[in-house]
Structure 1
Amino acid sequence: MLEENELRIMATLDSPKKRRALAAELGYEPGTITNAVVHLEKLGLVTRERVGNETIIHPTSAKCLEVYQDLTATNPHVDFPELLTSSMLRVLYYLHADEPVSAAELAQRTDVSRATVYRTLKTLTNRAIAVKQGTRYRLTEQFSGLHKFAVELRHQHHRMQVQTDIGSGTLLWESYDEFIVRTDEVVDDSQYLLTGLDAYNEYGLQFFTRSGNYYFYSESRESLSPADLVCHLLLIENDARHRKYAMLLITATNTSHEDVREVATSYGVEDIISPLLTYLRTEGEQSSAQTPPWSEMESLARDYEVEI
């Protein structure tokens, strides 16, 4: 996503600088700076200003830029531009300082081969950037900012993609490659899959409450399962009404509770989903503060002709 020369520019650009001065400081040809800056500008990390015969390059207020410059300033002995390859950034997106994770889990989450994950982790442990605890790994506290940088950089990429593709929108959930966005626009793009309450129409559940349009962006997926839509709805709004609608879809589509649990884990909403599934399985006998009286679910199901 970022080339080594672009990362070096990001580290150096702590204030507006002339293109030629920046080239001299980094030992690059002015043309190399121009090419790199064009890409950084598309990512919303820099802006360019023409003053006479000179181009002034300005850093933006993007959070990932601030995090990266802090990392490079506090750890001058680490060559971050050489370290932060595309596969490294993918691993760092899911590698925390406070939550150890296994290589197998990283391979699954990143969609990177296990061999590449192991090589990446070996690089990090050899440089004392990460530590191994049994079969699990975590970043050291000193380098916890690497995870934050990877997350903020990907967030910036998603923000700019929404701006380019749609014009405006609010990101509600993100992974490295996918995101959910709320927008006032109607999007006609195969990579933006309709989600939220509007997507329930496909299963005969038509709701008339609207609060914008919701889309799930993915380059690899062609459709969303009922379990996906359940989780998306709870990410959009986890209130009493939306929880009832989520449970109604599970019942209407006869979706396996185990499938819902598995998908919920991938979206990070397993703690929200678990009491809802227990409530449905026990027909309301095991309720919680997050579930309605069973009579309300029965009434809602009758309204939509769903057998509960």
Structure 2
Amino acid sequence: MIKERELRVLSALDTPKGRQELADELNYREGTVSDALNDLAQRDLINKERAGNRIIAKPGDARCVEVFQSLTKSNPHIDFPDLLTPSLLNILYYLSSDKGWTATELAEQTGHARATIYRGLRTLTNRAMAVKQHSQYRLTEAFNELHVFAYELQHHTHRTQIKQDIGSGTIVWESHEEFLVRTETEVEQSDYHRTGLDAFAEHGLQFFTTSEHYYFYSAERESLRPEDLFCHLLLIENDSRHRKYALLLAAKTNLSPEHLKAAADEYGLTEIVNPLVEFLQTEGKKSSEATPRWDEFETLADEYEVEL
């Protein structure tokens, strides 16, 4: 997570500056500034260029840098580097002016203790950056950029990690700590779990696949559950063919409706997954535009030796 000193240097880079200039402005030692610049450069948040014997730092073109500098220019009286602690940035990743959250919901999402959540929310409400209405908190419109910055910073962090770990890839889905990436590179690192149709082979379902690979990054999970694979496939491509393959996996692994619906909530797929669950539960009696005909699905299941 980005540190206070890095945020102070980023805030000071309203124009390109050298190390000594930043040290004088921030009252830091040159070594401290140098360490901060190296960290920011490693995160692709700044660019460093040589001008004679000097190294000049410039803000990068990442969206999060643009938003952060907009915040600091619009609110010069607020010490954002001191305010934006790692735990508060985690809260702000979810908290916006568009949706209200209870402290309990934020604790569940972030993994922080409720005391930490209440402390962060109190900081925001005391500064009139957030309001509380009927036990729900939301940011004020004037400070919604705090949410945008926290979200864009984490998105940029994921992109930088992909660049460093596997070279290139496209993010298909992400949360604060995890992401689903499409890449043409085979990945062997333990935190990258193979997903998509390639991973269905682990459950006895072999499909023709393209040269693209899909991986789910998670430092916490040791493996992916069938319900994860089900949801990942719909995140990758929610068309009739992929929905049928997802249904085959659910039938093959005897996925419980409860586990599948819980996973759908986690990935933001509730409206897509619920009709598919009902289709399986009722053996096609409850169908929708998103589901195949039951006889068509039976034929497909027979082809792949899946008992319904």
- TM interval, short-chain normalised: over 0.9
Name the CA distance, whole Å, in 2 between partners of 1:3 and 1:204.
46
Matched letter for residue 19 of structure 2: R
Name the CA distance, whole Å, in 2 between partners of 1:280 and 1:261.
13
Name the CA distance, whole Å, in 1 between partners of 2:127 and 2:204.
56
Instruction: Rate the CA distance shift 1:246–1:133 in 2: closer, same or farther, 3 A.
Output: same
Q: Mean alpha-carbon deviation: is it higher for 55-64 or for 19-28?
A: 19-28
Deviation per CA, 1:23-70, whole angstroms, max 9, x where unpaired? 222222222111001000011001111222211001111000001111
Deviation per CA, 1:110-134, whole angstroms, max 9, x where unpaired? 1111111111111111111111111
Name the CA distance, whole Å, in 2 between partners of 1:2 and 1:188.
27
SS of the equivalent of 2:78 reads: coil
SS of the equivalent of 1:22 reads: helix
Name the CA distance, whole Å, in 2 between partners of 1:15 and 1:283.
64
SS of the equivalent of 2:284 reads: coil
SS of the equivalent of 1:173 reads: strand
Deviation per CA, 1:77-110, whole angstroms, max 9, x where unpaired? 2211001001011111111211101111111111
Deviation per CA, 1:150-208, whole angstroms, max 9, x where unpaired? 11000111111111111111111111111111111111111111110011001100001
Are the counterparts in 1 of residues 231 and 263 from structure 2 also a CA contact under 8 Å?
yes
Name the CA distance, whole Å, in 2 between partners of 1:121 and 1:43.
28
Name the CA distance, whole Å, in 1 between partners of 2:207 and 2:183.
18
Name the CA distance, whole Å, in 2 between partners of 1:198 and 1:209.
7
Are the counterparts in 1 of residues 198 and 209 from structure 2 also a CA contact under 8 Å?
no
Name the CA distance, whole Å, in 2 between partners of 1:10 and 1:108.
31
Matches within 5 A, 1:67-82: 67-82=67-82
Q: Mean alpha-carbon deviation: is it higher for 243-252 or for 280-289?
A: 280-289
Name the CA distance, whole Å, in 1 between partners of 2:21 and 2:140.
36
Matched letter for residue 173 of structure 2: W
1:12 aligns with 2:34: no
2:59 matched to which residue of 1?
59
1:101 matched to which residue of 2?
101
**What TM-score do the two structures reach when normalised by structure 2?**
0.97
1:115 matched to which residue of 2?
115
Matched letter for residue 200 of structure 1: F
1:220 matched to which residue of 2?
220
SS of the equivalent of 2:65 reads: helix
1:253 aligns with 2:253: yes
2:242 matched to which residue of 1?
242
CA drift of 1:211 comes to 4.9
CA drift of 1:224 comes to 0.7
Are the counterparts in 1 of residues 45 and 62 from structure 2 also a CA contact under 8 Å?
yes
Are the counterparts in 1 of residues 44 and 60 from structure 2 also a CA contact under 8 Å?
yes
SS of the equivalent of 1:57 reads: strand
Deviation per CA, 1:256-295, whole angstroms, max 9, x where unpaired? 1111111111111111111111122222222212112222
1:302 matched to which residue of 2?
302
Long gaps (5+) in structure 1: none
SS of the equivalent of 1:101 reads: coil
Matched letter for residue 158 of structure 2: H
Are the counterparts in 1 of residues 276 and 291 from structure 2 also a CA contact under 8 Å?
yes
Matched letter for residue 294 of structure 2: W
Name the CA distance, whole Å, in 2 between partners of 1:128 and 1:174.
30
Long gaps (5+) in structure 2: none
1:169 matched to which residue of 2?
169
Matched letter for residue 164 of structure 2: T
RMSD: 1.1
Name the CA distance, whole Å, in 2 between partners of 1:112 and 1:263.
21
1:127 matched to which residue of 2?
127
